């Protein structure tokens, strides 16, 4: 079985369409969404429709989904650009669409799988915290009871593994460095291979797959992952999409220009 794991679409129709096309080519059978379907970009209804019509076996709420579907006008922790996009998005969605978003769970174990999903963190999903390092990951692993946990929220791909007992006094948590696959001047000439995590028996994995609609790892390509249960691997794919059209739509909608310019830089 091949599961596509998508997150932080943020109403970017061009990016989501490119990802869906690639999923079909890869033979994806089921889909899992880690939240923030809406916010920032200019096609919330279109993206929501796509997510609701694919074979979705797991979906959780992101903070933008929460604020778009609630009466919260304060939006603590949001900058002015994010707030403006949320208020604009509220006016684009109808009552039924906002209701669907409001009823999404904060975390979920995907039925029939070894996967737990959350937008932010398992220890306090409604606080919208971030996982950036091993210390944050250790807190999350304490609440993770399945081999795999996928998260989003930061828009920055990062992965951690918690090894099984090996006779040492404690379980070892390590960052999976290869998962980042960062573009630098030093590796610019190397082949741009999709990063892969082989899933080892007895280990636990916490994996942030990055963002479909607004990457922030200095790579503007849409990022998502495929979990292949037969090969027992998680692969992160980076997809080129029509950034210029997404930017044009943001500007035509009257949304902050910063939301358009950042797409081409991936920051």
Write out pLDDT tens, residues 118-171.
999 999 999 999 999 999 999 899 999 999 999 999 999 999 999 876 545 456
Tokens of 246: 């997404």
Q: Which helix (H) or strand (E) holds 84?
A: helix 80-92
pLDDT at position 102 is 97
Tokens of 163: 């090894």
Provide DSSP, 156-185.
S-EEEEEPPP-SSSS--EEE-GGGT----S
pLDDT at position 164 is 74
CATH code for the domain in which residue 163 is found:
3.60.21.10
Of the candidates 210, 193, 250, 218, the residue with the CA atom closest to the CA atom of residue 14: 250
Write out pLDDT tens, residues 156-173.
999 999 987 654 545 689
pLDDT at position 169 is 47
Whole-model pTM above 0.85? yes
pLDDT at position 181 is 82
Collect the ranges in the chain with pLDDT lower than 50: 167, 169
Distances (CA, A) of 77 to 74, 81, 94: 9, 12, 26
Query: What domain count does the chain have?
Result: 1
pLDDT at position 166 is 55
pLDDT at position 61 is 98
pLDDT at position 75 is 79
Tokens of 241: 């999409």
Domain residues for the domain of 32 are: 2-265
């Amino acid at each position: 079985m091949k599961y596509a794991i998508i997150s932080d679409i943020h109403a970017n129709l061009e990016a989501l369409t490119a990802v869906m096309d690639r999923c079909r080519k890869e033979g994806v059978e089921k889909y899992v969404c880690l939240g923030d379907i809406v916010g920032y970009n200019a096609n919330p209804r279109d993206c929501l429709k796509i997510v609701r019509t694919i074979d979705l076996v797991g979906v959780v709420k992101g903070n933008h989904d929460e604020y778009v579907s609630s009466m919260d006008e304060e939006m603590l922790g949001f900058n002015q650009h994010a707030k403006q996009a949320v208020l604009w998005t509220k006016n684009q969605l109808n009552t039924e669409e906002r209701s669907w978003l409001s009823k999404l769970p904060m975390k979920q174990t995907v039925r029939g799988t070894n996967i737990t999903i959350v937008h932010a963190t398992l220890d306090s999903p409604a606080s919208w915290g971030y996982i950036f390092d091993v210390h944050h990951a250790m807190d999350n692993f304490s609440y993770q009871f399945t081999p795999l946990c996928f998260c989003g929220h930061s828009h920055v791909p990062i992965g951690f593994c918690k090894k099984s007992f090996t006779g040492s006094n404690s379980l070892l948590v390590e960052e999976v460095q290869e998962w980042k696959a960062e573009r630098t001047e030093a590796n610019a000439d190397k082949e741009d291979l999709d990063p892969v995590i082989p899933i080892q028996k007895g280990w636990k994995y916490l994996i942030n797959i990055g963002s479909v609609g607004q990457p922030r790892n200095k790579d503007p390509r849409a990022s998502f992952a495929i979990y292949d249960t037969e090969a027992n691997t998680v692969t992160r794919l980076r997809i080129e999409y029509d950034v210029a059209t997404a930017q044009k739509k943001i500007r035509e909608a009257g949304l902050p220009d910063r939301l358009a310019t950042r797409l081409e830089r991936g920051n």
